[in-house]
Structure 1
């Protein structure tokens, strides 16, 4: 097929793959990526630099109105078939632990999460892919049943960020850290830290929570005081004067009684400003 380099991903490879998507030709698309894999191109390069890159262009065409929803769905289905074909060729033996990949509840764009799952699987992790729109309570139940090392949580739409925050909180309560990924967490993942994610995956090449690879970024350090604010988030602020127990800021030795601590009200703000869950 034209545009495919024999030794790797050439300048016309993405264009050739886009042509397959334009024609909704599953067979040609699978043959194209199979040729790349046979030529020794790594799975991550095929999925990230060809499939994901082409899907970004498909999204742009839909957004600008040059493609209809039906045409975009047909093309995306071809890419889903291609990712499945690539997954069938992955022979890496799991040696780095177990991760669960899921989309935020209400998030139905699952292809990006599937691509991440296969890249991570090819890097030697055991991966369980739960798919689109996973309810938080069912995810937590699954975590208790299987005990994975981490959850890779995908969020494409920022409108799902509040649900993402609840899911991260639930996972942390179950003792499982979350690696966040997707544009729904803001530019450069700026909202991931605010909702408690242990790390943010800048690209699908992030290889797992404990490996420390390029592409995984730790959220900014948060002070102990910030941690205390998170623990009291959601509690009602006391009325002026501290309520029935006396002045709120009274300290031991200054007229107050030992053990009476002031409870701060929930911090205000929006995603990126301190409390993305509100």
Structure 2
């Protein structure tokens, strides 16, 4: 914990994720893809990053915004550390966060949405062959009676932004955590202004 606090002084705010943990995760992934480390090595490195993120999650607090986000990995998508970092950023801005983990089947996602009714659904896509699954999830979310906003991130985020047939008014591509934080701030401002307007109009 002392070491984490030391790094937080050097990397304040989300920069500890952007400048330290995310590059480390990508580097680990590249080593694994090129067979320079074993699966066991990759799992160990992931566990270390996961432990650090867990400690940072305990420290994250924010003013309540009364907005809700659920975070999940697509079916068969096992990468999840990015989602956990996104959850911390939302939590810092006062959002109610439900992290449902990796590899969540489409039907289970829709059932949870029906019960919890989140304002936003965030998904992660790390590998190119998950894109057809992503399209299926996005289309299912769009077909809901009250579709949530959809945030998509992960290593494939930039490629997704260039695919015309999965563009949507509800879809927002997040290439990094800075984009996520900016989006949250804009959303919180819009929600606050809407509440103030409604309060005035009902008097």
State the TM-score, normalizing by the size of structure 2: 0.80
Determine the structure 1 residue equivalent to 2:99: 129
Cα deviations across residues 171-228 of structure 1 (Å, max 9, x unaligned)?
A: 2222222111122345373238625352111212313766448xxxxxxxxxxxxxxx
- Structure 1 residue 207 corresponds to structure 2 residue 181: yes
Q: Give the number of the structure whose alpha-carbon radius of gyration is greater.
A: 1
Cα distance change on mapping 1:67 and 1:105 into 2, 3 Å: same
Q: Do 2:28 and 2:42's aligned partners in 1 also have CA atoms closer than 8 Å?
A: yes
CA distance in 1 between counterparts of 2:127 and 2:77 reads 7
Cα deviations across residues 50-105 of structure 1 (Å, max 9, x unaligned)?
A: 11111111112222222111111101111111100100111223326111111111
Q: Mapping of 1:1-278 within 5 angstroms?
A: 30-37=1-8, 39=9, 41-95=11-65, 97-174=67-144, 175-187=147-159, 189-191=161-163, 194=166, 196=168, 198-205=171-178, 206-207=180-181, 211-212=185-186
Does the residue aligned with 1:100 lie in a helix, a strand or coil?
strand
Q: Do 1:107 and 1:132's aligned partners in 2 also have CA atoms closer than 8 Å?
A: yes
The structure showing larger relative contact order (alpha-carbon pairs under 8 Å, at least 6 residues apart) is: 2
CA distance in 1 between counterparts of 2:23 and 2:77 reads 20
> How many residues were matched structurally?
183
CA distance in 2 between counterparts of 1:103 and 1:154 reads 5
Does the residue aligned with 1:47 lie in a helix, a strand or coil?
helix
Structure 2: runs of 5+ lacking an equivalent: 188-203
Q: Do 1:185 and 1:191's aligned partners in 2 also have CA atoms closer than 8 Å?
A: no
CA distance in 1 between counterparts of 2:82 and 2:184 reads 21
- Indicate the RMSD between aligned Cα atoms, in angstroms: 2.3
Determine the structure 1 residue equivalent to 2:197: none
Q: Do 1:188 and 1:202's aligned partners in 2 also have CA atoms closer than 8 Å?
A: no
Q: Do 1:33 and 1:46's aligned partners in 2 also have CA atoms closer than 8 Å?
A: no
Does the residue aligned with 1:133 lie in a helix, a strand or coil?
coil
Determine the structure 1 residue equivalent to 2:192: none
Cα distance change on mapping 1:209 and 1:176 into 2, 3 Å: farther
Cα distance change on mapping 1:51 and 1:192 into 2, 3 Å: farther
State the TM-score, normalizing by the size of structure 1: 0.60
CA distance in 1 between counterparts of 2:98 and 2:18 reads 20
